[in-house]
Amino acid sequence: MIKKLHDAGVRSEHAYTAGLVSIALSVVSWAVSEKKEAAGRDRADRWGIFVGEWAPTFFGLGLALAHYEQADGTFGR
């Protein structure tokens, strides 16, 4: 899977950036849900947690891609 992502042009920097963006999106989705939905804080908390769980996945992919890039000799290209 990592080779296919790398061959498709996804690099470790992209995955790390997606992880950071997902953390920010988690906070934004929590805040928007709390203000705009009538369901209250419980639903807002669930939205924040749901989106926040994406970050470790992206960071893990970033680590795997960085390892692949170093082994492949394409790191820094």
pLDDT per residue over 8-64, tens digit each? 999 999 999 999 999 999 999 888 888 877 777 777 888 888 888 999 999 999 999
pLDDT of residue 52: 86
Shortest CA distance to 64 belongs to which of 18, 9, 12? 12
Tell the residue number behind the tokens 């009538």, with chain if given: 38
